[in-house]
Every structure is written in structure tokens, then in C-alpha cells.
């Protein structure tokens, strides 16, 4: 019994030494341990890492080393997974040369999945050179290409495609292709790469989203507006339809307005997106942007409202303007564009009451000019603008840009912002 206890402690110490060597990419220690004929540790050893603080009761055989824990659920990994996911290529090469199973996936993912997830380009290159399956499906239904979803993973994606990865492979639950994922993440280079390899532009996932819908549907920071614009531009220029609706009858324009991306909205409008089609909830694109104005001020929602009005969006029902003032008052330019779409409006006392005093003070000149309209008519210049816009109703965005007018006058007709109402 005493001898057995000593041997168990030796095995435990050796296993922990092996584990630490793998975590640090120490190929000398890994070589020494796996080359020892007396050791049961080898390149295909499996570690249960579900609770590393409670490693107990080692069970050995020719393929497995299980580190049983007190937790119920196992999390399994191998030396190949550990080194591939950390980019320890020297250690990885040694393990592969010693016969490590390149597609072994006891935890549900192959080493190639984990190398792609961590953007370890050289690990990916090495695994593929040893025959790793570029189309292996993980337990969650993902291929390695689906894990290339960060800017730094572009070289991994290139290697996978060069080695036969299916660019149109779908995830099992979401039905996403790699192009859906790249578009959703705003990855311009990935989108360009996948399109060159024949990625499907109109494949719909389980939500009914094409890659263009997926890009428009993704909420993003103001600093990422240009990335999503570039992604959408590539998709549209390669033939993606701007009219495809998802399961909720939301088209790319509805989604881009919901996420307040002015550049994408103008792109969609330039390619014929219809501004007045309703989604399943009865919302038009204008209603979608007005619902998020207060939360998306840094996205310049006023530019979207103006663009929709200049592409013949149905104007807000005058009776709803009090509600619009209440929820969009923090964006005075949004209010300016909406008000300037009418030649006259009946302004009542409730308008003054619904705008918080701190907002009025912050934009005092604008709100004073707005509230003064209850006492005087609009300027003749504005009335002329409205007359021209009304005459061109339905053709506004087609005719105005082609009129031989001075740029300043053309901008005025297109509702340029003046931060005051006349």
C-alpha cells in the first residue's frame, strides 16, 4: 500500500509537470516526459480541466489520462489543443511528429478549431500540413472557418480556404455561413476573401438573414460605422439584394435604421431600397430610426432622417409630433429635418412641455426658434422649398441632384442643417 501511494504521488507530480510544460510551450520537458518508456503520458493524453484545483484519482490506459474532478461536467483537452491554441509551434510540431491525432476532439473541438479561434496562423499552417480536416465539424456544429471572426484571423481563413475549406458550410443551429459571421462582425478583409472564393450572397440563415441583412442587423459603435459600410458596399456591389426580408419582414434598410448607420442607410437608398415598406410590426424605416434616436446620438441619426425624407419617406403624422419631440428632443437636428418637411404646422403648448428644460437650455437658439413658430409663419424661402419638394413628390431623390442649381441652393432644398428654424 505504501509503495502504491508513492507511485500515485509520482504520477500526479509528473502529470502536473507535463501540464505546466504544455501551458508554457516547454518542448524540452514535453520531450523528456513523453519519451520516457515508463511514463503513461503521451501526445494523445486527455486532461479533464473542469476543476484544476481538485485533480484526483488518476486513471491510466494507453490513450487516456483522466484527471477526475469533483464537478459534474467534464471539460476535456489534449496537448495538441493546448499548444495549437497558444501558438507554441515548436512544441506542436514535436507532438505531431510523435503521432498526436491531428483531428482528435475529446472536448468537442479539434486543435484546428482552437487555433483558428485564437488566430494562431502558424499553428493552423502546421496542423493543415499534417492533414488536419479543414471542414471538421465541432460538437456545437461549427467548422474552423466559422471561428475566423476577428481581424487577426484573416491569414487563418486564407490557409483554410487554400486547403479545401468549404466557404459555404453552415453552422448546424444558426445556419450561418462564414460570410454571415464576417459580415456580422464588420470584417472587411474576410468578406472580400470569402466573396473571391464564391461565398453565397443570398443564403438565408435561420432568422432569414442574408449576409447583407446580418451586417445591417448588427449593433456597433460609432467608430465602426465605416467598417460596416465597407462590408455592405462589397456585398451590394457583388450582387446582394437590398430588398430581401427576414422572418419579421425586416429589410436591410429597416435594420440599418434600427442600428443608426447613416452611411449604410444612404448606400441602401442609392441602390433602390424602398423607404415606405413596413415590417411585420408595422414599422417603416423612419419609425425604426426615430425609436433609437435618443440612444444613438453619436451615430448622427439626423442624417438618416434627412436621407429618408429626401427619398420620399412618408412624413410623420402631425398629431404624433409631440411624441417625437418627447423622445427625440436631444437631437435637435432630427427635429429640424422633420419640421422642415412641412410648409406649416400647428404648434401647441404641449410641445414646450414635453422637451426637458435641460435639453432646451443646451440647444436654446434652436428651441426658441421652434417655439416662436406658433406666433409667426414660416419664411418665404422655406415655403418655396416646400412647394418645390411637394411638386417633386415621388421623384425628389431622382430630380433634385440633377437640377442645374448652385450647390448651396441644392443643399437647402435637400434639407441642409442650419440649427435654427425660419
Cα→Cα distances 6→9, 35, 42, 47, 296, Å: 5, 22, 21, 22, 65
Residue whose C-alpha cell is 467598417: 227
Cα→Cα distances 263→216, 235, 340, Å: 11, 14, 22
65 pLDDT band, cuts 50/70/90, is very low
pLDDT score, position 8: 58
Across residues 98-122, what is the average pLDDT? 96
288 pLDDT band, cuts 50/70/90, is very high
CA proximity to 335, closest of 351, 348, 311: 351
Question: Under CATH, what is the fold of the domain 194-314?
Answer: 1.25.40
Tell whether the model's pLDDT for residue 24 goes beyond 60. yes
**Mean pLDDT score across all residues of the chain:** 91
CATH node for 1-166:
1.25.40.20
Please state which of the ranges 56-70, 239-253, 398-412 shows the lowest mean pLDDT.
56-70
2 pLDDT band, cuts 50/70/90, is very low
pLDDT score, position 51: 60
Rounded to an integer, what distance in angstroms lies between the CA atom of residue 208 and that of residue 252?
Answer: 11
62 pLDDT band, cuts 50/70/90, is very low
pLDDT score, position 37: 83
73 pLDDT band, cuts 50/70/90, is low
Please state which of the ranges 98-107, 229-238, 369-378 shows the lowest mean pLDDT.
369-378
Tell whether the model's pLDDT for residue 7 goes beyond 80. no
Please state which of the ranges 21-25, 46-50, 143-147, 291-295 shows the lowest mean pLDDT.
46-50
Domain ranges of the chain: 1-166, 194-314, 326-422
pLDDT score, position 137: 97
Same fold, 1-166 and 194-314: yes
Cα→Cα distances 133→38, 145, 327, Å: 33, 11, 53
Quick check: 292 and 258 in contact, CB under 8 A? Answer: yes
Amino acid at each position: 500500500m505504501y509503495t502504491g501511494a508513492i507511485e500515485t504521488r509520482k504520477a500526479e507530480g509528473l502529470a502536473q509537470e507535463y501540464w505546466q510544460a504544455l501551458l508554457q510551450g516547454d518542448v524540452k520537458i514535453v520531450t523528456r516526459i513523453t519519451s520516457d518508456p515508463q511514463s503513461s503520458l503521451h501526445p494523445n493524453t486527455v486532461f479533464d480541466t473542469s476543476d484544476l484545483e481538485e485533480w484526483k484519482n488518476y486513471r491510466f490506459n494507453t490513450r487516456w489520462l483522466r484527471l477526475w474532478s469533483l464537478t459534474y461536467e467534464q471539460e476535456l483537452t489534449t496537448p495538441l489543443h493546448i499548444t495549437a491554441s497558444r501558438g507554441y509551434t515548436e512544441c506542436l510540431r514535436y507532438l505531431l511528429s510523435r503521432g498526436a491525432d491531428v483531428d482528435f476532439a475529446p472536448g468537442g473541438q479539434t486543435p484546428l478549431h482552437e487555433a483558428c479561434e485564437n488566430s494562431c496562423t502558424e499553428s493552423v499552417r502546421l496542423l493543415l500540413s499534417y492533414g488536419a480536416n479543414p471542414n471538421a465539424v465541432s460538437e456545437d456544429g461549427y467548422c474552423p472557418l466559422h471561428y475566423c471572426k476577428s481581424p487577426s484571423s484573416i491569414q487563418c481563413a486564407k490557409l483554410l480556404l487554400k486547403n479545401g475549406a468549404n466557404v459555404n458550410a453552415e453552422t448546424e443551429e444558426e445556419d450561418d455561413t462564414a460570410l454571415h459571421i464576417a459580415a456580422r462582425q464588420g470584417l472587411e478583409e474576410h468578406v472580400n476573401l470569402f466573396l473571391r472564393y464564391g461565398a453565397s450572397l443570398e443564403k438565408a440563415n435561420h432568422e432569414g438573414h442574408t449576409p447583407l441583412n446580418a451586417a445591417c442587423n448588427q449593433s456597433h459603435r460609432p467608430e465602426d460605422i465605416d467598417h460596416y459600410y465597407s462590408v455592405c458596399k462589397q456585398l451590394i456591389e457583388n450582387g446582394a439584394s437590398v430588398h430581401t426580408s427576414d422572418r419579421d419582414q425586416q429589410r436591410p434598410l429597416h435594420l440599418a435604421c434600427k442600428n443608426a448607420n447613416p452611411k449604410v442607410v444612404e448606400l441602401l437608398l442609392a441602390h433602390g431600397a424602398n423607404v415606405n415598406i413596413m415590417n411585420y410590426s408595422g414599422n417603416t424605416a423612419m419609425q425604426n430610426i426615430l425609436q433609437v434616436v435618443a440612444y444613438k446620438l453619436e451615430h448622427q441619426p439626423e442624417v438618416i432622417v434627412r436621407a429618408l425624407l429626401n427619398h420620399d419617406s412618408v412624413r410623420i403624422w402631425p398629431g404624433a409630433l409631440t411624441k417625437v419631440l418627447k423622445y427625440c428632443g436631444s437631437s435637435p437636428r432630427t427635429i429640424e429635418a422633420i419640421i422642415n418637411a412641412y410648409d406649416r404646422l400647428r404648434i401647441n403648448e404641449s410641445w414646450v412641455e414635453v422637451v426637458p428644460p435641460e435639453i432646451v437650455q443646451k440647444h436654446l437658439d434652436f428651441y426658441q426658434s421652434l417655439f416662436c413658430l406658433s406666433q409667426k409663419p414660416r419664411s418665404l424661402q422655406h415655403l418655396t422649398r416646400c412647394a418645390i419638394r411637394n411638386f417633386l413628390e415621388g421623384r425628389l431623390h431622382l430630380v433634385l441632384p440633377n437640377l442645374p442649381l448652385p450647390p448651396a441652393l441644392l443643399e437647402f432644398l435637400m434639407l441642409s442643417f442650419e440649427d435654427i428654424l425660419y
